Amino acid sequence: MKSDKLLLLCLTNTLMQTLVIALGGNAIMPKGKMTIASEFSNVQKAIQKIFPLVKNNHVIITHGNGPQVGNILIRVEAALGKAYPIPLSVAVAESEGELGYVIEQCLVNELSKKKIKKSVVSILTQVLVDKKDPSFKNPTKPVGPFYPKKEAEKMKKKGLHVIFEKTKGWRRVVPSPWPKKIIEAETIKAISRKAVVIAAGGGGIPVIYESGKYRGIDAVIDKDLASACLASSIKADLLLILTDVPFAYENFGKKNEKPIKKMTIKEAKHYIIEGHFAPGSMLPKVQAASEFAQTGGTAIITNPSNLKKALSGKAGTVIKK
């Protein structure tokens, strides 16, 4: 199916498509002071933008969780000696529950207001990673609170990895392995035929497989890469990566920045080699879009405000094979 026809179908009732919509942290998280109330407010705004797609298609929503996991780890540090500590994998699971609840409730309320009978369900999602992934030898993903130098030295002696960020202090870094498999993919696909599914929050709970069983591991998986893995696994028609900018850009932030409206996989690799996309920001989004496009799907990177325009070819960066 041609991508322009696919995008048109997503906005109409003529043929239901399977969509994975990845809500980035910048697309749904409030800037400034964070509260549960502001979480609900921002999620509600994002839901209103994607609602026409939710109404007419089989939809799976994924989401970021960086601020939530950070705050969970701060609470763990503050409660040491008073409450049992939890590993990072459990913190990710807790953040999936928190944001799953917020997104689910906002979406249920919107469906009820529009008098649409459609269920919504959140699924705690485990994501398989390779225990030999290079990131385990070179952790780079910052998580949790900042520490003074003395505390950072103690963490180093315990075998933890820390880095120094100018003006802020020392911070723990953990591996960010590449997602290999969504454990609950088939369940998510089956349920999405009858309900909107919220899954793979924050990239999912990282697990490894050894001695015949799964085990959680201290790491975080990029949300966009996990979304692409899920979209490929369930053979979705479209992957929408929503962030805080309307396009991916050449020379982003510079005087000669230029929006990229379309990319082939080959062109995306070229842009990546040239260093146009920042690590931890646009880079994983383009990598995820390319991964999904490799399987024959269409991916779009844009912001919630420009979603409708992107689906009609007037905004957003479209990546296809």
Q: Which residues are catalytic?
A: 25-26, 141, 223, 285
Estimate to the nearest angstrom the gap between the alpha carbon of 167 and the chain centroid.
28
Estimate to the nearest angstrom the gap between the alpha carbon of 20 and the chain centroid.
11
For 32-65, b where at least 16 C-beta lie within 10 A, e where not — what string? Answer: eeeeeeebbebbbebbebbbebbbbbbbbbbbbb
The helix-helix angle for 36-56 and 88-113 (nearest 10°) equals 60
Q: Is the dihedral of CA 145, 229, 286, 274 positive or negative?
A: positive
Residue type, 214: Y
Q: What is the DSSP string of 250-299?
A: ETTTSTT-EEE-EEEHHHHHHHHHTT-S-TTTHHHHHHHHHHHHHTT-EE
Estimate to the nearest angstrom the gap between the alpha carbon of 142 and the chain centroid.
16
Residue type, 215: R
